[in-house]
Amino acid sequence: MVSIFSDVGVCIGNGSVGLNSHPKTSPRLRSCIEAVAVMAMIDPLVESLNSQDLNLAFEHIEMPHLLCLAKMESTGFGLYYLRGK
C-alpha cells in the first residue's frame, strides 16, 4: 500500500493528503487513495472499538453524523462579519 502514496504528496499536521494545498495529483486520485487507506484500517479499528466496548457509541452516535459532516465539507460555509464592529 505504501507505493500508492508515493505520488500523492505530503500532509502537514493532522490533515489528510486530500487537504494538501500543492498536490501533484488530482483530487479524485487523492480521494481514491484515502479510501483505500481507510479500507485497510477498518478491521483493526473495529476490533479496537469492540475490545473497549465503544462499538455502540461509534455505530449509533458517530456514524449517523458522517453524512451530514461530508455534506458540510463538500458544500463549505461562508463567514460573515461586520468591518469595524
pLDDT of residue 32: 82
Q: CA 13 to CA 65: how far, in whole Å? A: 24
Give the residue-averaged pLDDT of 60-66: 90
Q: Does 81 have pLDDT greater than 70?
A: no
pLDDT of residue 50: 95
- The ranges assigned to domains in the chain are 2-75
Say if residues 34 and 8 touch (Cβ distance below 8 Å).
no
Q: Does 66 have pLDDT greater than 80?
A: yes
3-state secondary structure 10-54: CCCCCCCHHHCCCCCCCHHHHHHHHHHHHHHHHHHHHHHHHHCCC
pLDDT of residue 76: 73
Look up residue 43 and give its amino acid: D
